[in-house]
A and B are shown apart, each in its own frame.
Chain A
């Protein structure tokens, strides 16, 4: 890491969180994206887990550190660590279970409480392969996303539909947010550099984490 920076190579590490009710498919979206795998017998996520995946945007390698979390409300107690430093979020519901869609608002509130509003956000209606038992229409999802100013996409971790695309859109948006800020403000760039490094190198400097999330 240090070598790369000394060599002048730009390096990006973006933290993205996956949130939403239990059993909407968050872990499988992540495994589909990071390893192109789907586990029919996947288990409930306990606490927090995460994986890093590299993507190329505009010829630059960008690493996305994607945090996956337990869907049960009780686990929200550990969320401060979870949301800290997040610059992107996928809010996931299950198109075959209305209640998971109705919870989306709560998840967005949660995100807003803990994070900066410039977090790149996407609403994801997962399990779109279950067309025969669909409980939330595409329009409903789309409309809600528009209202809240979120990207929107329906995905299927099972058959891979849109999974790669969904993550890439979020990551690209983060990249754009960052680039804009770099153009606008040198101090932000400095801040961001600190933040970026701090995730891997200088984590006890909590201040730097907050800085990206507390304007």
Chain B
């Protein structure tokens, strides 16, 4: 372990945890994150943060993560807590029971799905449509990943709308799985691809409101890599989706993420009216250029390791000890948009951003303030050099590739304070 904390701990060692295909080395963003002794949450520190019966000192853990991220050896288990899969104020035993219960629930759903589409659970997956829009089975043709599982039994259930809607999503998921993080050696394996496909397919079956929307694959992929057990990966993704699912909600004339884009517009208009006006003049007032950043939480702008670092940082800063109980109370509870009232003890267990939210009211998720901070740092260049939206995208693109997650989050916190002050005054 000590090896990874020497001053010379290079990013190459880090990337070794998530090896990149040799032929892709040049086309992926460079990793900037560095493990830092005394800052990064190490495996030793993590284990030391549990009491004998398993209560987690989340406060100390958050402090570390907000300073220097999480060591790759424990990223998966830490993520489960950050996302609210588990209550830090519980015992090992209680969590094991919960995990067991969830695994059984997952297996039940999986069996349900397998009955309708036998390829599920076989380590293979599909990327060709299996039914037509009106629900008729399509015979498996060429260019399919699997030759034996595409055709499903025409049971009476199949006529149900829910089943048809779901089946129509499966090949879309397959097409995207084939294109998810292909630069990582991990996804050279068909069974790993199938794991991602299965989790997304079962999620789509369970969350009928959202189903599957492109981009969810980018959110899910890290969980598949970090958590070995398929069910655990599913539940971790499910918790992530509680915060993110509103972005993926689609209606006939709008997409959920546009709400966040609207918030972004509001923030920039308040803190930097000149820049907002400039963007509007370039027909960028809808902030569509930030669409992808918010939808897949900057995964496309960063290397794999760096995007995990950013996520940990963001979710630690947004952490609220109440999320677990909120999720448990109602099956479809989403991440609370307004911070609940907390006593002093619980307030200490909040991340930096959430503390401010509790004190001064919310105003939007951290990710939105992050985009605002990126715009703010490039203010001068945007005003001077950006003549069209191409330029805006280019300028922002050049920045995000060079972002330090911690600095960016700190800057986002500053913008958040500034914005809330303005909001209170007016």
**4 extra A-B contacts, CB within 8 A, seeds A52-B390, A75-B214, A135-B143:** A44-B217, A75-B250, A203-B280, A204-B280
Q: Which residues of A contact B175 (CB under 8 A)?
A: 22-23, 44
A165 contacts the other chain (CB 8 A): no
Contact among B218, B254, B286, B390 with A77 in the assembled complex (CB-CB below 8 Å)? B254
Interface residues in A, total, Cβ within 8 A: 41
Q: Is the CB of B281 within 8 A of A204?
A: yes
Q: Can you list 23 pairs linking A and B with CB atoms under 8 Å apart? A: A41-B24, A41-B27, A41-B179, A41-B183, A42-B179, A44-B214, A46-B292, A47-B295, A49-B292, A49-B393, A65-B388, A70-B214, A71-B214, A72-B213, A74-B213, A78-B254, A78-B291, A80-B253, A81-B286, A97-B128, A135-B141, A135-B142, A201-B282
Q: Is the CB of B390 within 8 A of A65?
A: yes
Q: Is the CB of B142 within 8 A of A133?
A: yes
A50 contacts the other chain (CB 8 A): yes
Q: Which residues of A contact B217 (CB under 8 A)?
A: 44
CA–CA, A167 to B104, complex, Å?
Answer: 54
Q: Which residues of A contact B215 (CB under 8 A)?
A: 44, 46
CB-CB nearest in chain A for B138? A99
Contact among A22, A98, A133 with B176 in the assembled complex (CB-CB below 8 Å)? A22
Interface residues in B, total, Cβ within 8 A: 46
CA–CA, A71 to B281, complex, Å?
Answer: 29
How many inter-chain contacts with C-beta < 8 Å in the A-B complex?
114
A46 with B183, Cβ < 8 A, contacts A72-B213, A203-B282 known: no
Q: Which residues of B contact A10 (CB under 8 A)?
A: none
Q: Is the CB of B250 within 8 A of A74?
A: yes
Q: Is the CB of B390 within 8 A of A51?
A: yes
A199 contacts the other chain (CB 8 A): yes
CA–CA, A48 to B290, complex, Å?
Answer: 10
B191 contacts the other chain (CB 8 A): no
A1 contacts the other chain (CB 8 A): yes
Closest 5 CB pairs of A and B: A203-B283, A47-B291, A41-B182, A46-B292, A74-B250
Q: Which residues of A contact B176 (CB under 8 A)?
A: 22, 44
CA–CA, A200 to B218, complex, Å?
Answer: 32
CB-CB nearest in chain B for A133? B142
A180 contacts the other chain (CB 8 A): no
B3 contacts the other chain (CB 8 A): no
Q: B-contacting residues of A (Cβ < 8 Å)?
A: 1, 22-23, 39-52, 65, 70-72, 74-75, 77-78, 80-81, 96-99, 133, 135, 198-204, 209
CB-CB nearest in chain B for A204? B280
A98 to chain B, nearest CB (A): 7
A201 with B142, Cβ < 8 A, contacts A72-B213, A77-B252 known: no
CA–CA, A39 to B300, complex, Å?
Answer: 14
CB-CB nearest in chain B for A27? B179
Q: Is the CB of B214 within 8 A of A204?
A: no
Q: Is the CB of A200 within 8 A of B214?
A: no
A22 with B281, Cβ < 8 A, contacts A49-B292, A96-B142 known: no
A214 to chain B, nearest CB (A): 17
